[in-house]
Amino acid sequence: MSEYSELIKNFSRIRDYMREFFVFGFKTRNDFNQKSKRTYDNERRRIENYLGDITKWEYTNGGKKVFISVDLSKIPENPFYKAYKSKSFTDNDIILHFLILDILTSNDNHTLDEITDIINDRVELIFEPQTVRNKLKEYCEFGIINAVKNKKTYYYSLNKCYFKDFGISTDAISFFSEIAPFGVIGSYINDKIGNKNIKFQFKHNFIVNTLEDNVALDIINAIKQQKRVIINNFSRRKNVADNINILPLIIFVSVQTGRRYVIAQGRGKFRFSVYRLDYIKSVKILEKDENFSSIRESLKSCFENSFSTALVQECKPEHFEMTLFINEKNEDFIIKRLERESRGGKVEKLRRNIYKYSNDIYDTNELTTWIKTFIGRIIELNGNNKKVIDLFYEDVKKMAQMYGGINE
């Protein structure tokens, strides 16, 4: 039986547990069917140690449900950053870490054989050159060590870039760490210099986004290099993860939910698909797509008739109209909100207290969630997509029946 440890080997696994059981799922122990119940208990304990007092639970008929409950204005740092800082390691990892850094601090430009010989002289263990090479390669990828090839030999040296050379204020670092993508970098720097965030609080801070930063970084690199990728994308409808070959073009962020999406070329010449980053488990970068620039240009024309994420260029836009009653004397803020959130639509006054919103979009269904926020003021809906409009009225009818407003 393996001993429980708070450290982790695979961040993607702890990311899945955090999202499924603490953020999205509100699941119980009985809902876990991936591995043994002991595995679930270990992962739950590990996450609770990371997140501390913000983890809550309640008992239901199905069992104990764990979840996150947090007042963002009262936490100085994103608690999910702790998962990044809990990497597991072996005894050899510790030995090689300190000895390699000490050797290169004393004298730069050592070869692999020189470093291996010095290490074996200092410790009773015998390290093979391949083991040391793997560690040097890992640190080169992290940017800790530089490797310069001279003829057939690599010479290794420490990277001389330190935080004190950046000239960045501690306040800027604290702000970046909590508000920007990849803010965990700022958190690492704060840990290094002993800085704490004591000035900034955020009313709306989508802290869970940091769990998908690894995925976002791979996709951004692919976009920068104009390369295709294979994503392992989870589908809630199918309840399975599929490998999909896509060409990522741009990343969008919802200002309402904080969710991040990658817009990519799917099947067909002008068809575009949208994938939520928090549903993508992994990204594999492939070859460069020579048509990247032209495909991205064709994407731009789709934005003119898109309310949200429907970007199918080959279909004809659907016309939609919504007539509202708005008390001009007391509800001027509703008029301003309608204009602010129109997303390319038109707001016009028909007569006193009566306003009409109209728009031409690819998919009327994208409007339904937004439309429902005006319930109580809606006089009439009209448009080409009768199916979506009829479904809206049917939903309102069912809601009225549930609350006793209509008797059949």
Tens-digit pLDDT profile for residues 69-104: 777 777 788 888 887 887 777 888 889 999 998 888
Helix (H, G, I), strand (E, B) or coil at 198: coil
Predicted confidence at residue 132, as pLDDT, reads 92
Dihedral sign (CA 102, 103, 107, 109): negative
Average pLDDT over residues 116-133: 90
Q: What is the pTM of this model?
A: 0.68
Q: Which parts of 121-206 are beta strand (E)?
A: 145-150, 153-158
On average, the pLDDT of the chain sits at 81
Q: Please write the tens of the pLDDT for every residue from 234-255.
A: 877 677 788 999 999 999 887 7
Instruction: Find the angle CA(133)-CA(134)-CA(138) to the nearest 5 degrees.
Output: 115
Greater confidence (234 vs 21) lies with 234
For residue 2, count other CB atoms closer than 10 A to its CB: 7
Q: What is the pLDDT of residue 1?
A: 42
Contacts of 342 (CB under 8 A, 6+ apart): 357, 359
How many Cα neighbours within 13 Å face the side chain of 385? 22
What percent helix, strand, coil does the chain show, rounded to 5? 45, 25, 30
Instruction: Output the CA torsion sign for 181, 185, 189, 195.
Output: positive
Report the alpha-carbon distance of residue 155 to residue 136 in Å, rounded. 11
Residue 375 has pLDDT above 70, yes or no: yes
CA distances (Å), origin 26, targets 49, 51, 231, 238, 301: 18, 16, 26, 19, 40
Q: Which residues pair with 381 in a beta bridge?
A: 322
The residue ranking higher by pLDDT, 382 or 65, is 382
Q: How far apart are CA 29 and CA 285, in angstroms?
A: 36
Do residues 286 and 230 lie in contact, with contact meaning Cβ atoms separated by under 8 Å? yes
Q: Which of 259 and 322 is assigned the larger pLDDT?
A: 322
For residue 40, what pLDDT is reported? 66
Among residues 132, 144, 135, the alpha carbon closest in space to that of 188 is found at 144
Q: Which amino acid is at 59?
A: Y
| The Cα angle at residue 68 between residues 65 and 72, in degrees rounded to 5 | 160
β-pair type (378-383, 346-351) = unpaired
% of the chain surpassing 90 pLDDT: 25
How much is the average pLDDT of 147-173?
A: 81
- Please tell me whether residue 381 adopts helix, strand or coil conformation: strand
Distance CA 32, CA 279 (A): 18
State the Cα angle at 160 between 158 and 165, rounded to 5°.
Answer: 155
> Which residue segments constitute the domains of the chain, with CATH numbers given?
11-73 (1.10.10), 91-158 (1.10.10.10), 163-205 (no CATH), 211-305 (2.30.30), 318-402 (3.30.70)
- pLDDT, tens digit, for every residue of 312-343? 555 678 899 999 999 988 999 999 998 888 87
Ramachandran class of 194: left when φ > 0, alpha when ψ lies in -120 to 50, beta otherwise: left
